[in-house]
Amino acid sequence: MLIVENVRKVYRVKEKNGWFSGKWTEVEAVADLSFRMEPGKIIGLLGINGAGKTTTIKMCSTLLTPTSGTITVDGYDAVRHDRLVKSRVNMIAGGERMLYWRLTARENLQYFGSLYGLAGSELRERIQSLLTQVDLLDAADTPVERYSKGMKQRLQIARGLINDPRYLFLDEPTLGLDAPIARQLRKHVKELASERGKAILLTSHYIQEVEELCDEVYIINKGRLVAHDTPAHLTQSLSQQTTLHVEIPALGDTLDHDLRQLALRHGGSLDISLTPEQSWEITLSAKMDLTAPLLSLLAAHQSAVLRLHTKQPTLEDVILHMADRRGA
C-alpha cells in the first residue's frame, strides 16, 4: 500500500527585483495532505490549476522530497529508500515528453528496461507483451519521431509499465488526445487496475474521465484536501441543485401561479423570462429533481413543451464550488 501522511511541500521561490537583487519567498504547494493507494483501485486527484496535484505525484514518485510528512510504499520510506520505491512505482504524463524521439519504440523500452535492471529474455518478452498491449507491435521498429501523438502516448504507457510497477501515477494522461484514442486509453487504464491489480492515481482536467475511471476522488485546493469520497457521493452530497430549463409557447396567470407554488413547496427558485422568439423560458432550481411534477403541472394546464433541459450537478461543479468556498 502507498500511504501519504501529513505531507507538506514548500517551495522557495526567488522573486527578481532588478538584475542582481531578489527576494526569497516560500510558497506552500501541498499542506498536510494524507491519502492511500490500494491495489486494484484508481483514485483521482482533482483540483484547479496550482492545486498541488503534480507536486503530489512528483513526491509520491520520489522526484521531489516532501518538506515534512511521510510517504511510504509497501513499508519503505520514499526518501530514505528511494531506490526501492522507484522500482515499485512509475509515472505516465500527458504530452509527448519522456521518450527518446530518435529511438524506436522497442529501443526506448529496451533502454528504460535496462535502467530498471531488466535484461535478456525477461526484458525481450516484457517489451513484446507491452507493445502488443498498447497496439504498437507493427510500429515497434519505427523511430518515435515519426509517431502520431496517440502512438507516442501509447508508448508512454508501455514505458510506464516496463518495470511492472505496483503503483502508477497518471498525470493528465489523455491531454491533447483525440476522443477515440483517449477512450481507448481509459479502457486500458481501467484494465490495469481491475485485471492486473495496479494501484493508480490519476489527475485529469477531463472530469468525465475521472467520473468514469475513479473509485475514489480526492479534491485538493491550494494544496489542502477539501473533500474525499466516491465521485457519485461527491456529486450527491456536495451538489447544489438540479436545474430545469423548460420553454413553453404561452403562459397564463394560473400556470404562473401554480409554477411559483411548486417552487415554493420544494424550497426551490423560479425564474420566468420571455425569449426573443416570444416564448417563455422557465428555469426551476431545487434540491430534488422536479422534472416529473413540473411536466404533470404543464400537462394539467394543457401547455405544450417546446424544449426541456435538465442540468444535473457534475464533479466539475463540485470542484468549482469547493474552490469558491475555500477561496472566499
Partner 1 sequence: MYQVAKATFIRNTLVMIRAYALSFVIGHILSGVYTVLFAYFAYQYVFAGQLDAQFARFSGSDDYLSYAILGGAFYAFAVSTLMNVSRSLITELREGTLEALLLTPSARHGYFMGNVLQQMMRTIMEFAVILTVGALFGLTLQQANVWGGIAVWILSTAAFFCQALVLGSLMLRFRDTYITQNTLFVIMAFVSGVTFPIPYLPEWLWPISQIMPLTPALDMFRQCVILGKPLADCLPQLLHLGVLSLIYLVVGAWGIRRMEKRVLETIFG
Q: Is 106 in the site for partner 1 (CB under 8 A)?
A: no
User: In the set 35, 44, 109, 112, which binds partner 1 (CB under 8 A)?
Assistant: 112
Q: Is 93 in the site for partner 1 (CB under 8 A)?
A: yes
Q: Is 159 in the site for partner 1 (CB under 8 A)?
A: yes
Beta carbon nearer to partner 1, 19 or 179? 19
Q: Is 117 in the site for partner 1 (CB under 8 A)?
A: yes
**C-beta separation of 309 from 245 below 8 A:** yes
Sorted by sequence, the CB contacts under 8 Å of residue 262 that are 6+ apart come out as: 268, 270, 284, 290, 293, 294, 297
Q: Which three cell numbers stand for residue 52?
A: 498541488
Q: Is 31 in the site for partner 1 (CB under 8 A)?
A: no
Q: Is 147 in the site for partner 1 (CB under 8 A)?
A: no
d(CA 192, CA 185): 10
Binding to partner 1 by CB under 8 A, coded x per residue (else -) over 40-79, reads --------------xx--x--xxxxx--------------
d(CA 47, CA 82): 27
Q: Is 87 in the site for partner 1 (CB under 8 A)?
A: yes
Q: Is 203 in the site for partner 1 (CB under 8 A)?
A: no
User: In the set 103, 251, 295, 297, which binds partner 1 (CB under 8 A)?
Assistant: 103
User: In the set 101, 122, 132, 275, which binds partner 1 (CB under 8 A)?
Assistant: 101
Beta carbon nearer to partner 1, 173 or 268? 173
Q: Is 143 in the site for partner 1 (CB under 8 A)?
A: yes
Q: Is 23 in the site for partner 1 (CB under 8 A)?
A: no
User: In the set 107, 258, 289, 317, which binds partner 1 (CB under 8 A)?
Assistant: 107
Number of amino acids touching partner 1 (CB under 8 A): 43
Least distance CB 98 / partner 1 (angstroms) = 4
Q: Is 116 in the site for partner 1 (CB under 8 A)?
A: yes
Q: Is 29 in the site for partner 1 (CB under 8 A)?
A: yes
The stretch among 115-123, 247-255, 278-286, 298-306 that binds partner 1 (CB under 8 A) is 115-123
Q: Which residues bind partner 1 (CB under 8 A)?
A: 11-13, 27, 29, 54-55, 58, 61-65, 82-84, 86-87, 89-91, 93, 95-103, 107, 110-112, 114-117, 119, 143, 159, 163
